[in-house]
């Protein structure tokens, strides 16, 4: 039987004890400054190696003098010699310090250093008797003084609210958090590389707009003082990117922040990162193939396989993904066929029979179908699934499906019960587009503050002619959640939106 550790955890610091520690550290800083040794006057340090480079390259570096730098995370003083651990971006390494090597003054200074101080270490590489790669210090430099203690090692930084508010501490004390954000950077880099190799170019479009359009969402409103004009933080990059297609840039994408003044939960943050891309002369089938490729490639590259586990669910991200129409998906899970209803009134009766709350007495079959999908299907789609052929009423920017004008060539990708991508065969008929904008404006006038506004510049651009085009938006934050097994979007945002602390 495994022996249990019954050693009690030390109590957390009281506010009075914390205040005392803060003062002690400030007193140490003042003493250093008075002695002409202000650590904040250090302007640079010749960091030759990261800890992982020294450990991984031990055979070549043994006995050689190296320079590393980072945060001191522990120290153990044993009379005339001491051990300590340094943490840098790529991991940690032990260093060994002897008074006879560095001198009495330098050794005494080291003993006064605090956990959390930033140090530069120069010394020779060796292995201890226990086989740990270490650095035998010849010179130790204090590069910055930590004036606040790190969380006590037994308690760490566990409170989620505090972790998100003090991400800088979270990154220091929780190595797995650093790995999440390193992976996030790699995922974005892989997406860029993959698209650039296929002839796409990255462009930038305005964050401030005079209309809120390109998606169904409530915008943030701001005011431009010089122009004396209310403006909106962008809710999508779609319309400007399609203007690039009109102008002859046939493969474009943008990775950037969008802003939607909406609710917050495990998968929603008011500002979030997406990639939107548009490709001339293809359709939503082309976007499905591109989407499969991007996600499978990122998963393989970051995790070494296309089989992953997300929150306890086994998921396969190898192409091809499943495809099902929205109407068929609803039929499979409820038995209800909204498009078999001859009238909207019959569709409303069908929705009520399923237990759906229908407050809009003018709701059409398409809107009711989407309502049923959200209620009964979405959270059941665990394996990657393209849900295709959306109702025209909820797809104001998508091309109609040939022979079925009540449907559009649109899909959304669902994995683990959440949406990851939204794509269209883009509507390029300027007359149809204006009519749909007008319909959206009417919905807005009836109180739907997520309905789109008419974008006159975009309507004008379409009148010059836009080729058949496929477009897609992929949520970067949710993709990072999926590939890092993060339960909430706040875990993959360095600085998530928070209420101010009191």
CATH number of the domain at 460, please: 3.30.930.10
Q: What is the pLDDT of residue 7?
A: 41
Burial class (CB in 10 A: 0-12, 13-18, 19+), 154: exposed
> If you count them, how many residues does the chain have?
502
The answer to whether 407 and 414 are in contact (CB under 8 A) is: no
What is this structure's pTM? 0.90
Instruction: Give the whole-number percent of the chain exceeding pLDDT 70.
Output: 96
Same domain, 178 and 139: no
Same domain, 289 and 424: yes
Choose one of 118, 150, 182: the last residue of a domain. 150
Burial class (CB in 10 A: 0-12, 13-18, 19+), 476: buried
Would 264 be classed as within a structural domain?
yes
Same domain, 271 and 231: yes
Same domain, 400 and 269: yes
Give 465-494 pLDDT, tens digit per residue. 999 999 999 999 999 999 999 999 999 999
> Cα 245 to chain center, whole Å?
27
Say whether pLDDT at 14 is over 90: no
Q: What is the pLDDT of residue 156?
A: 59
Q: Which residue segment(s) compose the domain that 86 sits in? A: 15-150
- Mean of the pLDDT values across residues 177-184? 96
Same domain, 294 and 202: yes
Q: What is the pLDDT of residue 29?
A: 96
Q: What is the pLDDT of residue 5?
A: 41
Rounded Cα distance between 390 and 339, Å, is 12
Confidence of residue 447 (pLDDT cuts 50, 70, 90): confident
Give 390-405 pLDDT, tens digit per residue. 999 999 889 999 999 9
Same domain, 269 and 316: yes
Count structural domains, the chain: 2
Same domain, 140 and 199: no
Would 115 be classed as within a structural domain?
yes
Choose one of 116, 150, 184: the last residue of a domain. 150
Confidence of residue 86 (pLDDT cuts 50, 70, 90): very high
β-strand pairing of 91-98 with 133-144: parallel
Same domain, 180 and 60: no
Say whether pLDDT at 39 is over 80: yes
Confidence of residue 17 (pLDDT cuts 50, 70, 90): confident
Same domain, 178 and 90: no
Same domain, 442 and 486: yes
Choose one of 150, 182, 210: the last residue of a domain. 150
Would 285 be classed as within a structural domain?
yes
Same domain, 286 and 417: yes
Q: What CATH number should be reported for the domain holding residue 82?
A: 2.40.50.140
Same domain, 191 and 107: no
């Amino acid at each position: 039987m495994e022996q249990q550790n019954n050693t009690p955890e030390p109590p957390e610091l009281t506010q009075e004890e914390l205040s005392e520690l803060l003062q002690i550290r400030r007193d140490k800083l003042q003493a250093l400054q008075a002695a002409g040794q202000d650590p904040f006057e250090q302007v640079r340090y010749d960091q030759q190696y990261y800890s992982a480079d020294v450990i991984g390259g031990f055979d070549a570096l043994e006995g050689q003098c190296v320079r590393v730098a980072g945060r001191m995370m522990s120290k153990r003083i044993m009379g005339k010699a001491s051990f300590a651990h340094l943490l840098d971006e790529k991991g940690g390494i032990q260093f060994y310090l002897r008074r006879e090597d560095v001198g009495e003054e330098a050794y005494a200074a080291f003993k006064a250093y605090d956990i959390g101080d930033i140090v530069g270490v120069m010394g020779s590489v060796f292995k201890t008797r226990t086989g740990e790669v270490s650095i035998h210090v010849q010179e130790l430099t204090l590069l910055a003084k930590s004036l606040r203690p790190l969380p006590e090692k037994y308690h760490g930084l566990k409170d989620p609210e505090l972790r998100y508010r003090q991400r800088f501490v979270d990154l220091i004390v929780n190595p797995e958090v650093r790995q999440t954000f390193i992976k996030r950077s790699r995922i974005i880099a892989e997406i860029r590389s993959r698209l650039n190799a296929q002839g796409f170019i990255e462009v930038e479009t305005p964050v401030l707009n005079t209309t809120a359009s390109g998606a169904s969402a409530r915008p943030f409103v701001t005011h431009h003082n010089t122009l004396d004009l209310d403006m909106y933080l962008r809710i999508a990059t779609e319309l400007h990117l399609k203007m690039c297609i009109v102008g002859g840039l046939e493969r474009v994408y943008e990775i950037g922040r969008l802003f939607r003044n909406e609710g917050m939960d495990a998968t929603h943050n008011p500002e979030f990162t997406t990639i939107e891309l548009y490709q001339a002369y293809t359709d939503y089938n082309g976007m499905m193939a591109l989407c499969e490729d991007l996600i499978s490639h990122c998963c393989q590259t970051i995790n070494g396989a296309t089989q992953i586990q997300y929150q306890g669910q086994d998921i396969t991200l190898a192409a091809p993904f499943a495809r099902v129409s929205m109407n068929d998906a609803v039929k499979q899970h409820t038995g209800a066929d909204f498009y078999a209803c001859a009238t909207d009134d019959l569709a409303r009766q069908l929705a009520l029979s399923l237990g759906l709350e229908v407050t809009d007495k003018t709701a059409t079959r398409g809107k009711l179908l989407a309502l049923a999908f959200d209620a009964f299907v979405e959270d059941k789609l665990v394996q990657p699934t393209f849900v295709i052929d959306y109702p025209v009423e909820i797809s104001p920017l998508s091309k109609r499906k040939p022979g079925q004008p009540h449907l559009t060539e649109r899909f959304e990708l669902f994995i683990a019960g959440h949406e990851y991508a939204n794509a269209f065969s883009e509507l390029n008929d300027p007359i149809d587009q204006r009519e749909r904008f007008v319909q959206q404006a009417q919905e807005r006038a009836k109180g739907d503050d997520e309905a789109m506004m008419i974008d006159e510049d975009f309507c004008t651009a379409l009148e010059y002619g836009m080729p058949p085009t496929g477009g897609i938006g992929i949520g970067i934050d949710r993709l990072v959640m999926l590939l890092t097994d993060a339960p909430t979007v706040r875990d993959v945002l360095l600085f998530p939106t928070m209420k101010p602390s009191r």
